[in-house]
Amino acid sequence: MAGPDISGCPGTYFLSANNPGVGELGIWTVVGTNNGVTISDPQDPNSPIVLANGNGGQTVLRWSITNGNGCASHEDVLVTNCGGVQPVNAGPDQNLGNCYSLTTMTCLNASPAGYCGTGTWSVVSGPNVPTIVNNNAANTCISNLIEGCYVFRWVVAGQCANGEDEVMILRASPNPGYYPGQFWKPDFLR
């Protein structure tokens, strides 16, 4: 027996499989994708596991016992790493400079909400309402930015991470002599 499924926030938990018999070898392995689970001692039926900060997700751990004749049996445990990062962080402020385009765009880099949480971007202030590609993705992109200062808020609500933070994006004035959709030309070439 591999023991009960585990679900929790980032931290340390303990597996609880049955002990191998005399002349048998037991080992924990990851089946499929590992979503932030570290097995401290793969041969210990009661090994500590560490669930990492970040996006999290579900990971299947398999406890296999093999005897001296090569006969094997196994059972799986589902580990749900709820993930998330505390404190919530909207990422660094950005200064986009003065190169102008009608489709000026940048990407944001916030802390993840985690597998058991939800994050939402919103526009707090700015000279227009830009387009948020995916308002629930921590690393989304923003387009349709015009000259001015924007403030975006990242709000996280979940089992392991909760809170909000803001990021400022400054879109500077365009270069003199530059027109949207064109390259800058010095006066003597116009």
Q: How many helices (H) and strands (E) does the chain have?
A: 0, 14
CA–CA–CA angle 185, 103, 134 (5° rounding): 160
Can you tell me the distance from the alpha carbon of 124 to that of 62, in angstroms, rounded to the nearest whole number?
47
How high is the pLDDT of residue 10? 95
In eight-state DSSP terms, residue 172 is P
Q: Decide if pLDDT at 186 tops 60.
A: no
Q: Decide if pLDDT at 184 tops 90.
A: no
Confidence of residue 101 (pLDDT cuts 50, 70, 90): low
Equal fold, 6-81 vs 94-171: yes
Confidence of residue 68 (pLDDT cuts 50, 70, 90): confident
Q: Please state which of the four CATH numbers 1.10.1740.10, 2.60.40.10, 3.20.20.70, 3.40.50.150 is assigned to the domain occupying 6-81.
A: 2.60.40.10
How high is the pLDDT of residue 112? 95
Q: Decide if pLDDT at 122 tops 80.
A: yes
Q: Mean pLDDT over residues 159-172, rounded?
A: 94
Can you tell me the distance from the alpha carbon of 1 to that of 37, in angstroms, rounded to the nearest whole number?
20
Q: What is the CATH number of domain 94-171?
A: 2.60.40.10
pLDDT in tens, 81-99: 999 999 999 999 999 876 6
| Pairing label, strands 72-81, 6-8 | parallel
What are the domain boundaries of the chain? Answer: 6-81, 94-171
- Four-point Cα dihedral 21, 24, 30, 32, nearest 10: -110
Can you tell me the distance from the alpha carbon of 63 to that of 127, in angstroms, rounded to the nearest whole number?
57
